[in-house]
Amino acid sequence: MEYLIHVAILVCIYGILALSLDLVVGEAGLLSVAQAAFYGLGAYASALLMVSFGVNFFLAAPLGMTIAGIVALPIGIVFARLREEYYAFGTIGFCVIAYSVMLNWQSLTHGPLGIPGIPRPVLFGFQFADNLAYLALAAVALALTYGVSAFVISSSFGRVLHAIREDEEAIAIFGYATHYYKLVVFVVSAMLAAIAGALFASYITFIDPSSFTLNESIFILAIIILGGLSSARGALLGALLLIVLPEALRFVGFPSDIAAQMRQVVYGLILILLMLFRPQGLLGKFRM
């Protein structure tokens, strides 16, 4: 039972990451590979506040979101002027830089040694030490993120994002400052990703830079591509599948000497088949 709860908590955390990234990639059509950077920024900011200054999780997490937003603002100002592949290359570069800072700024992040002893959240004297209670907290955070995502998508702001995705030059002709919309959605996405980082740090009670690499960003991107772009439900479905599927393959019964390799082969084959026969993703509205 504890194992299932653990998997469910990871689904909630990656569901938040997927929803946050889908605002940029799915709604605005901007290929961003920077999500792991803001995920890590939220994790490190909240962890340092809790460990070094004794700040409560429910204050540290919003502060981590704020810090992520502040960092995302100047980065987003630069990226908002970029188009297509240049935007993607820019976000890749930022993700690599963020990882390098986490790894080498040892006086702050402790480098590869990481930050241990991160406390679990406490609310009115109740500590979320039990994983079932933590799952409830993660589920509430996921529901709130879903609500924010749904609000953005259904608003007039979201409709402009859709227009930017379809034809940025055409919408600019009508007087819309497209770079402003791209900047705002980038900052909002970063702040939502920081929530997932704070939850991850407090759940695992230890973080190090290896959890926030470029590969992690690519994995989050794969989640929303599989689930379907411009679909909040697709983002959640993609998170569920890509977290649960590798775990389910542990019980297939491959020979012990090749079990790990065979799980990766089957996992990769399933993803390839889905992309071949359903390129827009399971619940997606358009292809990348």
**pLDDT, tens digit, for every residue of 50-87?**
999 999 999 999 999 999 999 999 999 999 888 778 89
Structure tokens at 60: 């540290």
Confidence of residue 32 (pLDDT cuts 50, 70, 90): very high
Inform me whether the pLDDT recorded for 179 exceeds 70: yes
Paired with 275 in beta bridges are: none
Is 184 domain-assigned?
yes
Average pLDDT over residues 146-152: 95
What single-letter DSSP state applies at residue 75? H
Number of separate domains in the chain: 1
Q: Establish if 259 belongs to a structural domain.
A: no
Which residues are paired to 122 by β-bridges?
Answer: 127
Q: Report residue 254's pLDDT band, with 50, 70 and 90 as the boundaries.
A: low
Domain-embedded: residue 273: no
Structure tokens at 8: 């469910």
Flag whether 237 is in a domain: no
Asked whether residue 54 is assigned to any structural domain, the reply reads yes
Q: Looking at the domain assignment, is residue 228 inside a domain?
A: no
Helix axis angle for 232-248 and 214-227, nearest 10°, is 110
Q: Is residue 103 part of a domain?
A: yes
On whether the pTM is more than 0.75, the answer is yes
User: Any idea how long the chain is?
Assistant: 288
Range of the domain at 194: 2-213
Residue 257, pLDDT score: 65
Does residue 136 lie in a domain region? yes
